[in-house]
């Protein structure tokens, strides 16, 4: 269904989230159709007729009450099903933290994203780290941890193809994970109102094959720069 809507799934958990949304849509959709159908049927069935006066119904009689109590219980069952599925997906995406193959740093600010990629040594926070602005380069098929922070106000790191949204909170470093599954170039956006430039705080995500990514790392590894005194 999601393929038909051209909603590409680009992470290992994007399918789980889509399934959850689909299930919620089906459940609420079925109940919407049932209640709307019942409403209009009742309007038609008990419409005003000649020589027939209206009847006051208290709703106390068991045969009338069950029109409310049975759907109520069924909806509660649906709620429980949704909660179970949602908690399962939440645990997978937000609570679980699979072992990482690589770690990146994401720094949000008004109104740009700075990405710190590990350099040829594969380690973050070393001199060969590669820093980019508004362009995130990742390798397909490996698990990444991200360390997300903000230097000014609240932001939200949103990658629609990953079905990922994570707030960036000033003063906190938030760790999360994802595993990209498809190559290509996709959008990143800020999903938290962060000032006048919020709407244009976009970035690009470039998902590469292992060989292309290795080439990119080797090509962009910084050369040592002489330190300058002062600020």
Partner 1 sequence: MKWRNRVLGASLLLAAVGCVSGETQHERGEALYGYCEQCHGDAGQGNADFRTPAIAGLQDWYIEAQLQKFRIGARGDHPDDLDGLRMRPMSRTLATDGEVALVSAYVASLDPVDPPDTMVGGDPVAGRVLFNTCIECHGERAEGRRDKSAPSLLNQSDWYLVAQLHKFRSGIRGADTLDTTGIQMRPNALALENDQAVRDVVAYIETLDN
Q: Which of residues 183-212 bind partner 1 (CB under 8 A)?
A: 196-197, 200-201
Answer whether 92's CB lies under 8 Å from 13's CB. yes
CB 108 → partner 1: shortest distance, Å?
11
Contact with partner 1 (CB under 8 A): which of 19, 92, 114, 221?
114
Nearer to partner 1, 157 or 177 (CB): 157
124 binds partner 1 (CB under 8 A): no
CB 182 → partner 1: shortest distance, Å?
27
171, two tokens: 């003063």
131 binds partner 1 (CB under 8 A): yes
Q: What mask, x for binding partner 1 by CB under 8 A, covers residues 142 to 181?
A: ---------x------------------------------
Q: Which residue has the tokens 């906190």?
A: 172
CB 200 → partner 1: shortest distance, Å?
5
What angle in degrees, to the nearest 10, is found between the helix axes of 62-90 and 14-45?
170
Nearer to partner 1, 66 or 131 (CB): 131
CB 8 → partner 1: shortest distance, Å?
26
**Burial degree of 167 (CB within 10 A; 0-12, 13-18, 19+):** middle
Pairing state between β 202-208 and 164-168: unpaired
Q: Which of residues 92-111 bind partner 1 (CB under 8 A)?
A: 107, 109-111
Rg of the chain, C-alpha, whole Å: 26
The DSSP H or E segment spanning 67 is helix 62-90
Could you tell me which of 205, 210, 163 has the C-alpha nearest to residue 184?
205
Give the separation between CA 129 and CA 116, rounded to whole angstroms. Answer: 6
How many chain residues bind partner 1 (CB under 8 A)?
19
Nearer to partner 1, 18 or 129 (CB): 129
Contact with partner 1 (CB under 8 A): which of 5, 43, 84, 228?
228
DSSP letter (8 states) at residue 160: G
Answer whether 142's CB lies under 8 Å from 179's CB. yes
Residues near partner 1 (CB under 8 A) are 107, 109-112, 114, 131-133, 151, 196-197, 200-201, 225, 228-231
């Amino acid at each position: 269904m999601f393929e038909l809507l051209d909603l590409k799934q680009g992470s290992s958990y994007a399918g789980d989230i889509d399934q959850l949304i689909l299930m919620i849509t089906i459940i609420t959709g079925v109940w919407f159709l049932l209640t709307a159908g019942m409403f209009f049927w009742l309007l038609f069935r008990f419409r005003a007729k000649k020589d027939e006066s209206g009847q006051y119904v208290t709703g106390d009689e068991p045969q009338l009450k069950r029109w409310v109590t049975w759907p109520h219980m069924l909806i509660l069952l649906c709620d429980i099903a949704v909660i179970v599925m949602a908690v399962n997906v939440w645990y997978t995406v937000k609570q679980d933290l699979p072992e990482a193959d690589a770690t990146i740093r994401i720094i949000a600010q008004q109104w740009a994203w700075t990405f710190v990629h590990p350099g040829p040594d594969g380690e973050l926070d070393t001199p060969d780290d590669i820093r980019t602005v508004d362009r995130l380069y990742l390798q397909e098929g490996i698990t990444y941890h991200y360390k997300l922070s903000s230097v000014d106000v609240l932001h939200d790191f949103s990658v629609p193809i990953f079905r990922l949204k994570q707030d960036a909170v000033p003063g906190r470093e938030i760790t999360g994970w994802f595993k990209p599954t498809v190559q290509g170039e996709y959008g990143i956006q800020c999903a938290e109102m962060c000032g006048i430039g919020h709407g244009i705080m976009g970035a690009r995500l470039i998902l590469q094959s292992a060989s292309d990514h290795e080439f990119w790392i080797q090509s962009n590894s910084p050369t040592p720069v002489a330190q300058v005194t002062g600020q």
